[in-house]
Amino acid sequence: MIELRGVTVTYDESATSRPVLDGVDLTVEEGELLLLSGPTGVGKSTLLGVVTGLVPRFSGGVLRGDVLLDGESVLGVPPRERAHHVGYVGQDPAAGFVTDTVEEELAYGMEQLGLPGDTMRRRVEETLDLLGVADLRHRDLRTLSGGQQQRVAIGSVLTMHPRLLVLDEPTSALDPTAAEEVLATLTRLVHDLGVSVLLAEHRLERVVPFADRMCLLTGDGRLEVGEPAVVLEHSPVAPPIVELGRAAGWRPLPLSVREGRRRARGLDLVAPVAFAPGATGAREVLLEARGLTVLRGRRAAVDGVDLRLESGRVTALMGRNGAGKSTLLWALQGSLARQAGRVDVTGADPADLDDASRRERVGLLPQNPADLLYLETVAQECAAGGAGTRELLDRLVPGIPDDTHPRDLSEGQRLALALALVLVARPRVLLLDEPTRGLDYAAKAALADLLRGLAREGHAVLVCTHDVEFVAAAADDVVVLAEGEVVSSGPAAQVLPASPAFAPQVTKVLGADWLRVGDVEAALAAAGGAR
Ligand SMILES: Nc1ncnc2c1ncn2[C@@H]1O[C@H](COP(=O)(O)OP(=O)(O)OP(=O)(O)O)[C@@H](O)[C@H]1O
Ligand SMILES: Nc1ncnc2c1ncn2[C@@H]1O[C@H](COP(=O)(O)OP(=O)(O)OP(=O)(O)O)[C@@H](O)[C@H]1O
């Protein structure tokens, strides 16, 4: 139904710079789910923008080639007029909201299309249920948690019944169960109604099992399209199950946990020793919270939480969308008022400190990294961060040009820059809110290394995330929050395998002794050596 022909996009027309997309051909067929993947900053959002019409109209840059909808060129057709056929949800869902409440937002697109009132009401009800947001229907959009916003944004395009859905990292703010449900819903639309879905995603473990075909942007502007199992043979980005298949020499590669489990029957491995703790020697309590309660609206979003963070440990804070994780982070950091309880960070209550002295003790990476960026270029931001900022940035996502405006960075590049600015201050306690959005596997591995390194040097790290694979790679401990209360906590090696929602792929395939592909690789090497 939509076709890109020889599409080339160049943002910077100087002779030295290469196009982001270079002669890309792609046909999205009716009734298929197409997964777009590739490393951070490679051009995935750009490609989606070509389909929706946002690139180059609102992004700048130059587009060559043609885009056809049902065989007719739509290059001159603005995004608004394509919305009838093409529904789009961007990487920052809140940025696309145009009304005030959940119900209004779900109805807005349909009003623009001039649909009859009873149709609108019916579709709003259906969508509220489909995305599990019925109890939020009257809520102000600005008070929703990140994951709640993402669900509403997806719902607001579904109500228009577009024939093609274009989604940029649609599960990045969703808890694992919600992600699975949203993908199952999309798959149902694809199978039952012949809707087409084109989605870019970094968490391939979530999406690959649902994809009919996969496109890979390789980094030189080219696009490779094929069966997921074929594209993943040599893809630089691959989910843990595929890495496991590669390590064990399984062909064809397993794409789902189920296939992996079948292949793993013949594997005879000696279980790894327990995960090495972050630091040896004495641990120091760097942050202690007792009876922490924070109201949001009339409800306690955080309800009597006790928490202790020690030097040398990386702790993951997990839990359903809306469980109160972001609220807890801001209350620990001291800038969000609490109704009860106390917080102590190395002898002081951060709520009593001014901004500068607070930053030295507790660093917080906000859910929206753009909140930390206010200068004109990457180089200026790095200079303002001080010595070492640029090096930190390059460790996470190498090669970002100095003169780029932070606004023009890809999502992952922007996150890496904000992270570098927080990390360079070397606060003893580091709080990170969902720090893996937009990051490819290499960048996540670099981030995990960085956090583990900081822990070894005596920092305490608390990472709020829905990315179970990242938790498996980075965390010593896990704290799970539900409705504002701590419902379980303990070593990651015990908490993750105990829950079907939080178990990483390797655990699901090989059992509770295994969390990471690296451990399996080591065991395979040891077994090979012993033979
Ligand atoms: N409006 C713009 N002006 C200039 N450069 C841009 C603009 N938008 C994107 N870029 C650059 O083009 C490249 C591709 O960006 P894009 O956002 O398409 O990547 P992406 O693959 O979606 O990244 P991520 O995985 O981080 O979401 C990046 O290097 C980015 O800095
Ligand atoms: N001003 C407000 N009025 C009413 N409820 C609010 C307000 N602000 C936040 N909430 C609610 O408080 C709860 C906790 O929100 P919080 O952002 O801490 O959740 P979270 O665990 O970080 O979620 P996510 O994983 O989706 O980011 C959510 O249900 C949210 O809708």
The domain segmentation of the chain, as residue ranges, is 2-238, 285-496
Pick among 3.40.50.300, 3.30.360.10, 3.30.1330.10, 3.30.565.10: CATH of 285-496: 3.40.50.300
Best of 8, 22, 37, 45 for a ligand 1 pocket test (most atoms within 8 Å of beta carbon)? 45
Q: What is the pLDDT of residue 274?
A: 59
The answer to whether residues 45 and 205 touch, using CB atoms and an 8 Å cutoff, is no
20-34 pLDDT, tens digit each: 999 999 999 999 999
200-253 pLDDT, tens digit each: 999 999 999 999 999 999 899 999 999 999 999 999 999 999 999 999 999 889
**Residue 11, ligand 1, Cβ within 6 A:** yes
**Percent of the chain residues past pLDDT 70, beyond the cut:** 97
Best of 143, 479, 481 for a ligand 2 pocket test (most atoms within 8 Å of beta carbon)? 143
The ligand with the least distance to the CA atom of 144 is 2
Q: What is the pLDDT of residue 280?
A: 57
Q: What is the pLDDT of residue 528?
A: 77
**Percent of the chain residues past pLDDT 90, beyond the cut:** 79
* Strands of 360-484, DSSP E: 362-365, 429-433, 460-464, 477-482
51-94 pLDDT, tens digit each: 999 999 999 999 999 999 999 999 989 988 888 899 999 988 88
Residue 355 has pLDDT above 90, yes or no: no
Respond yes or no on whether ipTM tops 0.90. yes
The ligand with the least distance to the CA atom of 336 is 2
The answer to whether residues 466 and 460 touch, using CB atoms and an 8 Å cutoff, is no
494-519 pLDDT, tens digit each: 999 999 999 999 999 999 999 999 99
Q: What burial class does residue 16 get, using C-beta atoms within 10 Å of its C-beta: 0-12 exposed, 13-18 middle, 19+ buried? A: exposed
Q: What is the pLDDT of residue 392?
A: 92
Residue 104 has pLDDT above 70, yes or no: yes
What is the overall mean pLDDT for the chain? 92
Which has more confidence, 147 or 266? 147
Question: How many other CB atoms sit within 10 Å of the CB of residue 99?
Answer: 14
Q: Which protein residue's CA is at the shortest distance from atom 23 of ligand 1?
A: 41
121-139 pLDDT, tens digit each: 999 999 999 888 999 999 9
Q: What CATH number labels 2-238?
A: 3.40.50.300
Best of 141, 145, 317, 465 for a ligand 2 pocket test (most atoms within 8 Å of beta carbon)? 145
Q: Comparing 2-238 with 285-496, is the CATH topology the same?
A: yes
Q: What is the pLDDT of residue 267?
A: 81
Counting from 1 in the atom list of ligand 2, the atom nearest the Cα of 327 is 18
Ligand 2 midpoint to CA 144 (Å): 5
Task: Tell me the C-alpha distance between 381 and 131, whole Å.
Answer: 39
The ligand with the least distance to the CA atom of 47 is 1
The ligand with the least distance to the CA atom of 412 is 1
Counting from 1 in the atom list of ligand 2, the atom nearest the Cα of 434 is 27
With cut-offs at 50, 70 and 90, classify the pLDDT of residue 14: confident
Ligand 1 midpoint to CA 43 (Å): 5
Long-range (24+ apart) CB contacts under 8 A made by 469-473 are: 469/203, 469/205, 469/239, 469/240, 469/444, 469/504, 469/505, 470/436, 470/444, 471/316, 471/318, 471/496, 471/502, 471/504, 472/496, 472/504, 472/506, 472/507, 472/515, 472/516, 473/444, 473/445, 473/448, 473/516
**Residue 396, ligand 1, Cβ within 6 A:** no
With cut-offs at 50, 70 and 90, classify the pLDDT of residue 529: low
**Residue 44, ligand 1, Cβ within 6 A:** yes
